[in-house]
Amino acid sequence: MKPANSNTKGNKIKSYLKQTENPYCFLSGKTKVTMRFSDTSQTIESKLRQYFITMNHR
């Protein structure tokens, strides 16, 4: 993916969607990125906090 040249948020989003075609599954360099969402009340912030705390205790 290449960064959008535009400064506006809307144009950056359009550029992202045009480059990825599928925003839930795309390549970033040679790395496959897949996004999924689960039906839960937990936020991504709380899940990331929990993840980094467990990584810190290894």
Whole-number pLDDT of residue 51 = 92
Residue 28 forms beta bridges with which residues? 31
Q: CB of 26 within 8 A of CB of 36?
A: no
Taking the C-alpha atoms of residue 23 and residue 1, their distance in angstroms, rounded to an integer, is 12
Range 44-51 average pLDDT: 91
- With CA atoms as reference, report the closest residue to 13 among 2, 24, 26, 4: 4
Q: pLDDT category, 50, cuts 50, 70, 90? A: very high
Higher pLDDT: 9 or 2? It is 9
Whole-number pLDDT of residue 30 = 93
Range 47-57 average pLDDT: 89
Q: Which residues contact 17 (CB under 8 A, 6 or more apart)?
A: 23
Range 27-47 average pLDDT: 88
Q: What predicted TM-score, i.e. pTM, was given to this entire model?
A: 0.43
